Amino acid sequence: MYAAWTAKYKPISLAEVVGNKEAIQALANWVKSWESGNPKKRAAFLYGPPGIGKTVSVEALTKDLKMEFVEKNASDYRTEEAINHFAGLASQYGSLFGGRRIILLDELDGLTGTSDRGGVKAITDVVKTARCPIILISNSAYDTRFLNLRNYCLMIEFKKPSASDVMKHLKRICDGEGIGADENALKFIAQRSEGDVRSAVNDFQALAQGKKKLTYEDVAWLGYRDRQDSIFNVVRMVLYGKTCASAKQAVNVADVDIDMLFEWIYENVPEHLTDPHDLANAMNALSLADVYRGRIRTSRDWSLTRYVIDHMTAGVAMSRQNTRTHGWIPFRFPQRIQMLSRSKADRAMRLSIGQKIKRKSHISAFRASREIVPYLGIVFKNSVGMAVGLAKWLELEPEMIAYLAESEDKAEEIVKMMG
């Protein structure tokens, strides 16, 4: 059965947390200071972008210090009464077996806005009299509603980990999964995540699931897609939508265009709708969406877009009637986009070599790329001596030689012999 690697490789000790060593040390020192009595600041306020390890750092700390961990989503306790009932009582009493306790209120951002009905004020009052460490987590600490609360908290900023730190975590996953990954492939994924560890692991699993080897070519095509932080959630909204409205809402929150979202849905439908009748209905809905996409391309009538959206979102979502979900199923990157991206790079390289041939042979670059480049490939793969002469004559660049030889070692040998 599949397991989400974000959960499977979640840090179980502070030593395994990715980055933010100074912030983690400040948090650990503050928690340990409770052993000498109640500190001046009875709450720690952790803030920073999502996916960088704020919550897992607290979880790992409680495991290291063998403390009872009480966690709640603050956005679920919006009223003063609810906060006092949970956090107020928990902060005044020790654990059942006399051990130490940490209280975590996560996603404090959910308390802001019109939905907050005294929640922030209640948390402030609880913090003032707490008899155990209270940790608050938010993406941003500087909402005006938190102005008074901040005065009673130790403010600890978590920052985006470096790409090298994210790479180390991905290498740890490689070891656990028995995957041999190129250094450049892991570096590319880490850089693309922009410090979001959770996003990097999700991307890595989608690309490497079921493989024993991951090369740079397997991930380089990502450069041709739009960067999106929540595409997995967007596709989930469609494939597991309970209503037409909720499925269609996916289009509004997606950071990719409709054509790209279509490819994501098309790629993942067979894995997530396993009942034959459900799958047939979903593919029929997608085929109708594709028909309207074709009509838009030929007629330029963009008013037809609403029919594309209806069929590819609501049509697919409502197809789920008999499928039963068993365990976690990973989302896959669209293979058609991957192939198109790779072929785009391949065509560009062939045309570049064709330009070199054009200057020497007086034929078009397109014809040269189609008719002559394949024969050059045969020569470069089988005769180093002839390859050296042709490379010099055509003034080929190292990457062109590597493309024709299809071997880095052979390409290096050719370049060296060229002098």
CATH of the domain at 193: 1.10.8.60
52 assigned to some structural domain:
yes
Is 341 domain-assigned?
Answer: no
Residue 80 or 416, more confident = 416
Q: What is the mean pLDDT of residues 85-112?
A: 64
Q: Domain boundary at 130, 157, 184, which?
A: 157
Strand, coil or helix: what is 116? coil
pLDDT band at 222 (very low <50, low <70, confident <90, very high): low
User: In this structure, is residue 3 part of a structural domain?
Assistant: no
Residues 383 and 412 in one domain: yes
% pLDDT > 90, the chain? 26
Do 88 and 37 share a domain, yes or no? Answer: yes
Is 139 found in the same domain as 85?
Answer: yes
Range of the domain at 262: 231-333
| CA–CA gap between residue 310 and residue 289 (Å, rounded) | 8
205 and 244 inside one domain? no
In one-letter notation, the amino acid at residue 99 is G
The type of residue at 62 is: T
The answer on 120 and 54 residing in a single domain is yes
Whether 255 is covered by a domain: the verdict is yes
Nearest to 352 by CA among 418, 401, 410: 401
> In this structure, are residues 313 and 238 in contact, taking their beta carbons and an 8 Å threshold?
yes
Q: Is the per-residue pLDDT at 79 higher than 60?
A: no
- Predicted confidence (pLDDT) per residue in 376-390, tens digit: 888 898 888 899 999
Determine, yes or no, domain membership for 387: yes
Same domain for 138 and 52: yes
Q: In total, how many domains does the chain have?
A: 4
pLDDT for res 57: 93
Average pLDDT over residues 199-224: 78
In a domain, 211, yes or no: yes
d(CA 203, CA 397): 33
Alpha carbon distance 419, 410 (integer Å): 15
Q: What is the mean pLDDT of residues 92-119?
A: 64
Most confident segment among 59-68, 79-88, 217-226, 403-412: 59-68
Neighbouring C-beta atoms of residue 163, cutoff 10 Å: 18
Is pLDDT above 90 for 292?
yes
- Would 120 be classed as within a structural domain? yes
Residue 24's pLDDT is 93
5 domain-assigned: no
Measured CA to CA, the distance from residue 3 to residue 9 in angstroms comes to 10
CB of 248 closer than 8 Å to CB of 309 = yes
Answer yes or no: are the C-beta atoms of 248 and 313 closer than 8 Å.
yes
How far apart CA 409 and CA 85 sit, in angstroms, is 68
The tens digit of pLDDT for each residue in 149-207 reads 899 999 999 999 999 999 999 999 999 899 999 899 899 888 888 888 888 888 888 78
| 203 and 131 belong to one structural domain | no
What letter represents residue 238's amino acid? V
CB contact set of 131 (below 8 Å; sequence gap of 6+): 38, 91, 92, 93
For residues 319 and 216, what is the distance between their CA atoms, to the nearest angstrom? 37
Q: Which pTM value belongs to this model?
A: 0.56
